[in-house]
Amino acid sequence: MAARALSGKPIADAIKDEVSAEVKKLGFRPGLAVVRVGEDPASAVYVASKVKTTEDLGMYSEHIHLSAETSHDELLAIVKGLNCRNEIDGILVQLPLPGHIDDREILEAIDPAKDVDGFHPMNVGRLSQGREALVPCTPAGVIEILKRSDIPIAGQHAVIVGRSNIVGKPMAMLLLQENATVTICHSRTRDLASITRQADIIVAAIGRPGFIRGEHIGEGATVVDVGINSVSDPAAAAELFSETDLPKRLAAIENRGATLVGDVNPKEANERAGAFTPVPGGVGLLTVAMLMKNTVDAAKMRRRS
């Protein structure tokens, strides 16, 4: 029996509707400033989506696009200026930044109260203590998918494959807050499959296309695929996609040069898992929705304090 697909779209749409309703009740427009440096094509697409969604939900949006030659100090000054502006509730500096800019220093310069990406050490620390904090959008989106799909979390064994600061570590904190038993695996983990097969919930965030295969998945487990990778080789695509899905994937490779796949082999996951998130169409759609929620939450918390 095929696994249940946990589509991100209806959940993302529901969260956006909730944010829009909340904005109407606030009596003011929360403001989100997005800063982009350089001409990275993927960043341009992501930022355009964030700006449009912000405006669609009734919030104030400001897009600051800087040349790739912008200096570290110039960007730092812009961030500090945004920190001081009361109409700006959220600040997002789109990564990656040009190599001559220290992204860690830039991100740490953002006022923690406006850190809608949830990357500032103060928000990371508050999250680890279970206190109110702005939480990284992708892990927060994973929790929403599980809860709104009626996947039980409390008492379940959740295995996270990947230990990044953006997904793996905050994911562990959020799952612990939901009373899961959490194991974090990574590139140095021995006999990975023997651990992941014990999981009720697997969160794959390792950045390797199709890495989690059937042998890693216990029968009936829920598999959440956070990865976004490109596959351009038709032979590799044939290993990853089912007979029904393969033709459109091959067409994408022919027409666009590549097709998207996550960190999980979808063909094998579909045979073993009880439920899984597709790529595209799964977790990725939640990231922008959770950014909108974080912006509203930041606006409310700032005014409360």
Q: Please, is 270 exposed, middle or buried when counting C-beta atoms within 10 Å of its C-beta (0-12, 13-18, 19+)? A: buried
β-partners of residue 184 are 160
Is 156 a known active-site residue? no
Do 279 and 140 sit in the same domain of this protein? Answer: yes
Of the candidates 50, 169, 267, 293, the residue annotated as catalytic is 50
Which of 117, 225, 263, 297 is the catalytic position? 117
**pLDDT recorded at residue 243:** 93
Asked whether residue 11 is domain-assigned, the answer is no
Largest CA distance in the chain: 57
State the residue for tokens 């969604």: 53
Same domain for 140 and 99: no
Q: Which residue has the tokens 């812009």?
A: 78
Between helices 284-304 and 9-26, what is the axis angle to 10°?
20
pLDDT recorded at residue 2: 81
Whether 301 is covered by a domain: the verdict is: no
> Does residue 170 lie within any of the structural domains?
yes
Burial of 16 (0-12, 13-18, 19+ CB in 10 A): middle
Q: pLDDT at position 54, please?
A: 97
pTM of the model: 0.95
pLDDT at 176: 98
Q: Is residue 159 part of a domain?
A: yes
Q: Which domain holds residue 188?
A: 136-227+262-285
The count of structural domains within the chain is 2
Assess whether 106 and 160 both reside in one domain.
no
Tens digit of each residue's pLDDT (9 = 90 or more) over 101-124 = 999 999 999 999 999 999 999 999
In a domain, 255, yes or no: no
- Residue 3 within any structural domain of the chain: no
152 and 208 belong to one structural domain = yes
- Asked whether residue 266 falls in the same domain as residue 186, the answer is yes
pLDDT, position 304: 87
Are residues 267 and 220 part of one domain?
yes
Distance CA 293, CA 297 (A): 6
Which entry of 94, 111, 156, 200 is annotated as an active-site residue? 94
Query: How high is the pLDDT of residue 84?
Result: 98
Q: CA quadruple 11, 141, 29, 95: dihedral positive or negative?
A: negative
In a domain, 279, yes or no: yes
Cα gap 214→283, rounded to integer Å: 20
Residue 96 has which token pair? 């990656």
Q: How far apart are the first and last CA of the chain?
A: 52
Residues facing residue 291 across a β-bridge: none
CA distance 196 to 30: 41
117 annotated active-site: yes
116: in domain = no
Read off the CATH number of the domain in which 42 is found.
Answer: 3.40.50.10860
**pLDDT score at 42:** 87
Pairing of strands 181-185, 90-93: unpaired
Looking at residue 282, its pLDDT comes to: 96
pLDDT in the model for residue 305: 73
Mean pLDDT by 10 residues, the chain (305 residues): 92 98 95 96 92 97 97 98 98 96 96 97 96 96 98 98 96 98 96 98 96 97 97 96 95 96 97 97 96 98 87
Which CATH number belongs to the domain containing residue 217 in this structure?
3.40.50.720
